[in-house]
Amino acid sequence: MRFYEYESKQLFAKRGIPLPKGSQVARTAHEAQRIASDIGGAVVLKSQVLSGGRMKAGGVLFADDEEEAESAARLILDLEINGQRPRGVLVESRQPVAQEYYLGITWDGIAKRPVMIFSDMGGIDIEEVAEKYPEHVAKRHFSNLLPFSDHKAKELIAAVGVQGSDLNRLTRIAAPLAHLFQEYGLTLAEINPIARLEDGSFVALDGHVDMEAEVRGEHRALLEELGIGEDETRQARPPTSFELAGKRINDVDHRGVAGNVTEFDGTLGLIIGAGGGSLTLFDAVRNHGGHPANYCEIGGNPSVSKVCELTKLILAKPGVEKIAVMMNVVSNTRVDLVARGVIKGVLESGEDPGERIAIFRIPGSWETDGFKILDKYGVEYCDRAVSMYEAAGRAVAKMQSA
Amino acid sequence: MAIFIRIDVDGALAADAGAARQLCEVCPVDIFSTPDGGALEIVDDNVDECTLCELCLQVGKPGQVSIVKLYDDDAVLQRT
């Protein structure tokens, strides 16, 4: 779940990360004028949208006094960027910058640990810096369980040649950012750029924070403090009617999970899940040249009716030719109950399970009963002797030969 | 309509209010009900949710409740 820049900065302020003077969000041009007046002198006004490319789109403007600030705010508040209306306009002091740095923390899925990245070339795309000037980028992994040590941050920053008081001041930004990352279940905490001002002080000029959606409940107090409502999903795009229908199916029945239903424009419907199985299987289908019609995550032993409703939803999606029902080896979820659900869903859609189910690959708990059900309805299935990757390949091959 | 499972309850047991209440209590997926505290009814919408836990088979005398697996040549589960 992505935070607006002003929310990210409120979070930074909780740990004492220095911000430009002012740094308040205005909802009206008049309010922006008042903030600019309080700051005094030149200000920068930034559109608060959850989208990149603000500068290019005209969503970042500069003003030398409060009157100019009001006019600039008016323009920004009326400006739609990538289909988004601004939540407000952030007004901050504009001061001369001597140098810009990059600092980011994200989750490294391969190392299964957070990784902190620092560069003395900030303000531009960090991937581009890493590619063109790798000697200007340093990375360090750290534990997400043990307390973060300031020494780790210092070592990282020093690795690109920063020394003396700059090193100490930057450490006092990097370490708190790591603490925030750990404390609030963040998946991304980025300051780009950190500016060293001409007076030698440092401020976070821009910030980007993403929180793991699953920890929202745990941090309700913080979200309330930031004014983030429970109904704000902060997804990259609004959910489609297909996705909303999927959510309803999951919400109305507490038994098990049929969640994260996401719409794609392919022809192969997917009922997938189990211990990371959804992502693996989705990728496997694509690697084999298949075109998924959807993504979803089933697990936790969903009820027959929940699987049935999900199956009906996917089959009713225009363009869906077949469905593939695939999971990793299950222990809690029961094979027979999922088999009942999908077959019932196909039958209630007025279709033949043997025709519409490309493959059923769920090995594990109660598979003997599950396979009897599939046998009865002529559905092709396989057990754990067939890998998830191979099962995905079989489903795609069946689509291509149809 | 249930297509995978059938539940058979002996008429005498179904008429026993105490046994009917027990069936309602033990079933984890609400296959049994006694609307308004009256006669036992099978909730058809829930029958295919049967988890084959066999708790209902423990109510009454052996054989008074049966679970039939319609997908397995009508194999019958009964308390013996």
Quick check: ipTM above 0.85?
yes
Q: State whether CATH 3.30.70.20 applies to domain B5-78.
A: yes
Cβ B48–A347 below 8 Å, yes or no?
A: no
Is residue B23 classed exposed, middle or buried when 0-12, 13-18 and 19+ CB atoms within 10 A define those classes? Answer: buried
Is residue B65 classed exposed, middle or buried when 0-12, 13-18 and 19+ CB atoms within 10 A define those classes? Answer: buried
Cβ within 8 Å of B, A 276-305:
303-305
Q: Is the peptide bond before A20 cis (omega within 30 degrees of 0)?
A: no
Cβ A344–B3 below 8 Å, yes or no?
A: yes
Q: How many angstroms separate the Cα of A201 from the Cα of each of A117, A136, A399, B56?
A: 21, 21, 61, 74
Indicate the residue type of A175. A
Nearest-CA distance from B71 to chain A in Å? 5
pLDDT higher than threshold 80 for residue A238: no
What CA–CA distance (Å, rounded) separates A375 from B57?
27
Q: Is A170 on the interface with B (CB under 8 A)?
A: no
Q: Is B69 on the interface with A (CB under 8 A)?
A: yes
Percent of chain A residues topping a pLDDT of 90: 86
Model pLDDT for residues A361-383, shown as the tens digit of each residue? 999 999 999 999 999 999 999 99
| From B49, B51, B52, residue closest to A305, measured CB to CB | B49
pLDDT higher than threshold 90 for residue A401: no
Q: Which residue has the tokens 């794609």?
A: A264
Q: Any idea what the Cα angle at residue A284 is, between residues A288 and A115, rounded to 5°? A: 135
Within A124-217, residue ranges assigned H as helices are 126-132, 150-158, 164-183
CA–centroid distance for A314 within its chain = 24
> Which is higher by pLDDT, A337 or A239?
A337
- Residue A44's nearest CA partner among A179, A174, A203, A219 is A203
Res. A236 pLDDT band, cuts 50 70 90:
low
The CATH homologous superfamily for domain A97-226 is ATP-grasp fold, B domain (3.30.470.20)
pLDDT at B78: 94
Res. A148 pLDDT band, cuts 50 70 90:
very high
Q: If one looks up domain A21-93 in CATH, what number appears?
A: 3.30.1490.20
pTM: 0.69
Per-domain boundaries in chain B: 5-78
- The chain-wide mean pLDDT, for chain A, equals 94
Residue of A nearest to B46 (CA): A305
Q: A373: which chain B residues are within 8 Å (Cβ-Cβ)? A: 4, 71
Per-domain boundaries in chain A: 21-93, 97-226, 241-401
> Which residues on adjacent β-strands are paired with residue A103?
A118, A191
Read off φ and ψ for residue A187, nearest 5 degrees.
-110, -15
Q: What mean pLDDT is predicted for residues A4-23?
A: 96
Model pLDDT for residues A153-167, shown as the tens digit of each residue? 999 999 999 999 999
Q: β-strand A97-108 against B65-69: which pairing, if any?
A: unpaired
Q: What mean pLDDT is predicted for residues A144-151?
A: 93
Res. A53 pLDDT band, cuts 50 70 90:
confident
Res. A229 pLDDT band, cuts 50 70 90:
confident
Q: Which candidate in A376, A377, A379, A381 is best for mutational testing of the B interface (most B CBs within 10 A)?
A: A376
Q: How many angstroms separate the Cα of A22 from the Cα of each of A25, A50, A63, A365, B1?
A: 9, 21, 14, 59, 66
Q: Is A254 on the interface with B (CB under 8 A)?
A: no
Q: A305: which chain B residues are within 8 Å (Cβ-Cβ)? A: 45, 48-49
The CATH homologous superfamily for domain A241-401 is Succinyl-CoA synthetase domains (3.40.50.261)
**Could you tell me the sign of the dihedral formed by the alpha carbons of A215, A220, A221, A225, in that order?**
positive
| From A304, A334, A376, residue closest to B48, measured CB to CB | A304
